[in-house]
Amino acid sequence: MTVKELIVRLQALPNQDALVIFASGNANEWLVATGLVERGISPSPANPDFVVPGNDPGVEII
């Protein structure tokens, strides 16, 4: 997902005051987004669902 795609989806939400959360892998437990950090990333050679440090632009939601 690109930054533009994320923004479009977030702007389409009916409640613009809702908290942004991310699934943590545990049932009924989520992480609350508190900020952004720009990162250099690359796809992980071991698993395409993950990234590792690299030269491609990325944004980490923290």
What is the C-alpha separation between 2 and 6, in angstroms, rounded? Answer: 6
Question: Over the stretch 13-61, which tens digit does the pLDDT of each residue have?
Answer: 999 999 999 887 777 889 999 999 999 999 999 998 999 999 999 999 9
Domain boundaries, the chain: 3-61
pLDDT band at 7; cut points 50, 70, 90: very high
pLDDT at residue 47, rounded to an integer: 96
pLDDT at residue 25, rounded to an integer: 74
Give the containing element (helix H, strand E) for 5. Answer: helix 3-11
Using only the alpha carbons of the chain, give its radius of gyration: 14
Give the dihedral of Cα atoms 48, 51, 54, 60; nearest 10 deg: 150
